[in-house]
Amino acid sequence: MRPDLTVRLGSWEAPNPVLTAAGCAGTGRELAPFCDLSRIGAVTTKSVMIEPRAGNPMPRMAETPSGMVSALGLQGPGIDVLVQRDLPWLVSQGARAIVSLAGSGPQEYSELAHRLDGLSICAVEVNLSCVNPASQGRRFAHEPAEAAAVVRAVRDATAGDVPVFAKLAVDGVDLRELAEACVTAGADGLSLINTVRGLAVNIDTRRLAVAGGSEQGGLSGPAIRPIALAAVHDVHATVPDVPIIGMGGVRSGTDVMEFMLAGASAVAVGTAIVHDPGAGERILREFTEGLERRGIERAADLVGAAHGGNE
């Protein structure tokens, strides 16, 4: 018997727990030649802002031995193009869309959420974890009160049947306090984690390897998976009834199981897609086969099981 792969993310039931992470799959077009987008749980769009953004100057990415340092600078075409061109295309592919929002303050986030009203999306992800162009190089909304204000604005502007997830980083924050503030403000779930501050240097040019500089480079990939697992484990222990989308160095079906046992209800694939654009389908297949080998009938039964008596 094939296992039941469905997982609940707030009011939305996803057909399986393997999603793409914001920023790594564009709006799905880049993956379509390599991956059946209708098979994976959902495609999370790049974080979109009100106006088009060119992003940081090149170079924006540098490989490291166990991951990648990047500083993309929220490059994108803006909300109007997403709504008029990209979301209809995703729907035409049978894909489920989670839209990631990035703004300079509660009012801009609220405006972005309003623009999505009535559209066919599964969830909204509020990016509170990225260096923001309006925040002078610091990660935006790291203070609980500031994050809560943004989440509240998006929750108020989003239809009640569309879950709102707050995406949080781990650099320099009390993650449990930040998570609780977002949930109290109306977040239906949490996305953990974004990149971890990192740096790469080009020894030939004697310059930093990404143009964003030391304040803006973020490390992703396998190097940060234990950090992400610890974050998911800690936050699940703090708010056990709140669904978590875990991410950070996911490369295999085994990694998905690890995140779910730590407390994630679903898992997003990011950097692995850069090297293997078909990674989403492959990881879903590996995850399903892993459940079958272990006689696990429901994927949802994994969620938080590593907490022992806490579940």
| Residues involved in catalysis | 130
Does an H or E element contain 9, and which? strand 7-9
| Strands 7-9 and 12-14, bridge-based pairing | antiparallel
Does residue 269 contact residue 284 with C-beta atoms inside 8 Å?
A: no
Q: Give the pair of three-digit tokens for residue 141.
A: 């909304």
Could you tell me which of 255, 222, 193 has the C-alpha nearest to residue 18?
Answer: 255
Does residue 58 contact residue 211 with C-beta atoms inside 8 Å?
A: yes
> What gap in Å lies between CA 114 and CA 159, rounded to an integer?
9
> What gap in Å lies between CA 71 and CA 88, rounded to an integer?
28
Which residues are bridge partners to 61 per DSSP? 70
The DSSP symbol for 61 reads E
The CA angle 4-231-303, to the nearest 5 degrees, is: 20
SS3 of residue 19 by DSSP: strand
Could you tell me which of 247, 266, 302 has the C-alpha nearest to residue 188?
Answer: 266
What are the b/e assignments for 185-220, b being 16+ CB within 10 Å?
A: bbbbbbbbbbbbbbbbeeeeeeebbbbbeeebbbbb
> What gap in Å lies between CA 122 and CA 162, rounded to an integer?
6
